[in-house]
Protein backbone atom coordinates (compact mmCIF):
# COMPACT_ATOMS: atom_id res chain seq x y z
CA UNK A 1 0.00 0.00 0.00
CA UNK A 2 0.96 3.66 -0.15
CA UNK A 3 0.87 6.48 2.39
CA UNK A 4 -2.51 7.95 1.46
CA UNK A 5 -4.17 4.55 1.29
CA UNK A 6 -2.81 3.73 4.76
CA UNK A 7 -4.16 7.00 6.12
CA UNK A 8 -7.54 6.39 4.49
CA UNK A 9 -7.68 3.07 6.26
CA UNK A 10 -6.84 4.70 9.61
CA UNK A 11 -9.33 7.55 9.33
CA UNK A 12 -12.03 5.07 8.37
CA UNK A 13 -11.41 3.19 11.61
CA UNK A 14 -11.46 6.46 13.59
CA UNK A 15 -14.78 7.52 12.05
CA UNK A 16 -16.38 4.14 12.57
CA UNK A 17 -15.22 4.10 16.22
CA UNK A 18 -16.90 7.50 16.62
CA UNK A 19 -20.08 6.08 15.03
CA UNK A 20 -19.82 8.38 12.05
CA UNK A 21 -20.55 6.58 8.82
CA UNK A 22 -17.86 6.92 6.23
CA UNK A 23 -17.88 6.90 2.44
CA UNK A 24 -14.67 6.88 0.48
CA UNK A 25 -14.68 7.38 -3.29
CA UNK A 26 -12.33 8.10 -6.15
CA UNK A 27 -8.76 7.24 -7.00
CA UNK A 28 -6.70 5.61 -4.28
CA UNK A 29 -3.59 5.14 -6.39
CA UNK A 30 -2.33 8.63 -7.17
CA UNK A 31 -0.62 9.32 -10.49
CA UNK A 32 2.27 11.77 -10.86
CA UNK A 33 2.38 12.51 -7.16
CA UNK A 34 5.71 12.85 -5.39
CA UNK A 35 6.01 11.25 -1.97
CA UNK A 36 6.22 14.70 -0.37
CA UNK A 37 2.86 15.69 -1.81
CA UNK A 38 1.31 12.39 -0.81
CA UNK A 39 2.60 12.89 2.74
CA UNK A 40 1.10 16.38 2.84
CA UNK A 41 -2.26 15.06 1.62
CA UNK A 42 -2.17 12.31 4.25
CA UNK A 43 -1.54 14.83 7.03
CA UNK A 44 -4.35 17.07 5.75
CA UNK A 45 -6.73 14.11 5.66
CA UNK A 46 -5.84 13.14 9.20
CA UNK A 47 -6.43 16.65 10.57
CA UNK A 48 -9.65 17.11 8.59
CA UNK A 49 -11.11 13.87 9.94
CA UNK A 50 -9.89 14.59 13.48
CA UNK A 51 -11.85 17.85 13.25
CA UNK A 52 -14.94 16.04 12.00
CA UNK A 53 -14.79 13.75 15.04
CA UNK A 54 -13.96 16.53 17.54
CA UNK A 55 -16.15 19.39 16.36
CA UNK A 56 -18.83 18.52 13.81
CA UNK A 57 -21.36 16.31 15.58
CA UNK A 58 -21.86 14.73 12.15
CA UNK A 59 -23.46 11.37 11.50
CA UNK A 60 -21.67 10.90 8.21
CA UNK A 61 -18.46 11.89 6.52
CA UNK A 62 -17.51 11.46 2.91
CA UNK A 63 -14.02 11.56 1.52
CA UNK A 64 -13.27 11.77 -2.17
CA UNK A 65 -10.08 11.91 -4.15
CA UNK A 66 -10.13 13.03 -7.75
CA UNK A 67 -7.32 13.68 -10.17
CA UNK A 68 -7.54 15.74 -13.31
CA UNK A 69 -4.64 16.52 -15.62
CA UNK A 70 -4.07 19.69 -13.60
CA UNK A 71 -4.64 18.84 -9.96
CA UNK A 72 -5.42 16.38 -7.24
CA UNK A 73 -8.51 17.26 -5.22
CA UNK A 74 -9.12 15.76 -1.80
CA UNK A 75 -12.57 16.59 -0.49
CA UNK A 76 -13.71 15.93 3.06
CA UNK A 77 -17.38 16.60 3.75
CA UNK A 78 -19.37 16.12 6.95
CA UNK A 79 -23.06 16.69 7.65
CA UNK A 80 -22.49 18.28 11.05
CA UNK A 81 -23.03 21.71 12.59
CA UNK A 82 -20.85 23.49 10.08
CA UNK A 83 -17.85 25.65 10.65
CA UNK A 84 -17.91 29.41 11.13
CA UNK A 85 -15.40 30.24 8.42
CA UNK A 86 -14.87 33.77 9.75
CA UNK A 87 -14.42 32.99 13.43
CA UNK A 88 -13.30 29.39 13.78
CA UNK A 89 -10.26 29.65 11.55
CA UNK A 90 -7.99 31.10 14.26
CA UNK A 91 -9.15 28.94 17.19
CA UNK A 92 -6.59 26.17 16.89
CA UNK A 93 -3.54 25.08 14.96
CA UNK A 94 -5.02 22.35 12.79
CA UNK A 95 -6.47 24.36 9.92
CA UNK A 96 -3.50 26.73 9.89
CA UNK A 97 -1.19 23.72 9.79
CA UNK A 98 -3.07 22.36 6.78
CA UNK A 99 -2.78 25.72 5.04
CA UNK A 100 0.95 26.02 5.75
CA UNK A 101 1.73 22.53 4.53
CA UNK A 102 -0.30 23.10 1.38
CA UNK A 103 1.46 26.40 0.69
CA UNK A 104 4.69 24.45 0.77
CA UNK A 105 3.56 22.31 -2.21
CA UNK A 106 1.71 25.14 -4.01
CA UNK A 107 -1.60 23.70 -2.91
CA UNK A 108 -4.68 25.40 -1.50
CA UNK A 109 -7.43 24.92 1.04
CA UNK A 110 -10.94 26.23 0.77
CA UNK A 111 -13.71 25.66 3.25
CA UNK A 112 -17.45 25.70 2.59
CA UNK A 113 -20.21 25.75 5.11
CA UNK A 114 -23.28 24.21 3.57
CA UNK A 115 -25.14 21.19 4.95
CA UNK A 116 -22.17 20.76 7.26
CA UNK A 117 -18.56 21.46 6.43
CA UNK A 118 -16.60 20.75 3.28
CA UNK A 119 -12.85 21.07 2.95
CA UNK A 120 -11.42 21.18 -0.56
CA UNK A 121 -7.73 20.43 -0.54
CA UNK A 122 -6.00 20.92 -3.89
CA UNK A 123 -2.48 20.30 -5.09
CA UNK A 124 -1.30 20.93 -8.63
CA UNK A 125 0.09 18.06 -10.68
CA UNK A 126 3.59 18.81 -11.87
CA UNK A 127 5.03 16.39 -14.39
CA UNK A 128 8.78 16.35 -14.48
P1 LIG B 1 -6.18 21.73 17.02
O2 LIG B 1 -6.44 21.31 15.59
O3 LIG B 1 -5.05 22.70 17.13
O4 LIG B 1 -6.10 20.56 17.94
P5 LIG B 1 -8.81 22.78 16.73
O6 LIG B 1 -9.26 21.49 16.13
O7 LIG B 1 -9.77 23.49 17.65
O8 LIG B 1 -7.46 22.58 17.52
P9 LIG B 1 -8.60 23.75 14.03
O10 LIG B 1 -8.39 22.37 13.52
O11 LIG B 1 -7.78 24.84 13.41
O12 LIG B 1 -8.38 23.83 15.59
O13 LIG B 1 -10.13 24.15 13.84
C14 LIG B 1 -10.56 25.45 14.26
C15 LIG B 1 -12.01 25.45 14.72
O16 LIG B 1 -12.87 25.27 13.60
C17 LIG B 1 -12.39 24.36 15.70
O18 LIG B 1 -12.10 24.71 17.02
C19 LIG B 1 -13.89 24.22 15.47
O20 LIG B 1 -14.59 25.21 16.19
C21 LIG B 1 -14.02 24.54 13.98
N22 LIG B 1 -14.10 23.34 13.13
C23 LIG B 1 -13.08 22.74 12.46
N24 LIG B 1 -13.51 21.70 11.73
C25 LIG B 1 -14.84 21.62 11.94
C26 LIG B 1 -15.88 20.75 11.45
N27 LIG B 1 -15.63 19.72 10.61
N28 LIG B 1 -17.16 20.98 11.87
C29 LIG B 1 -17.43 22.01 12.71
N30 LIG B 1 -16.51 22.87 13.19
C31 LIG B 1 -15.22 22.68 12.83
MG1 LIG C 1 -8.13 20.56 14.61
Our answer on whether the CB atom of 92 is closer than 6 Å to any ligand 1 atom is yes
State the pLDDT at residue 91.
80
Q: What is the pLDDT of residue 53?
A: 98
Does 95 sit in the ligand 1 pocket, CB within 6 Å?
yes
5 lines ligand 1 (CB under 6 A): no
Q: How many CA atoms lie within 13 A of 116 on its CB side?
A: 18
How much is the CA Rg of the chain, to the nearest whole Å?
A: 14
pLDDT digits (tens, 9 = 90+) for 22-66: 999 998 889 889 999 999 999 999 999 999 999 999 999 999 999
From the list 118, 32, 49, 48, the residue with the least C-alpha distance to 83 is 118
Q: What is the ipTM of this complex?
A: 0.99
0.90 cut: is pTM over it? yes
pLDDT at 126: 85
Amino acid sequence: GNKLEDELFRVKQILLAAEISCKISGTLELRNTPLLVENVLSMCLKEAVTNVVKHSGATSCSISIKQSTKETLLKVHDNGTGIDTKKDWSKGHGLRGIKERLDFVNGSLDIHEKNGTTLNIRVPIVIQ
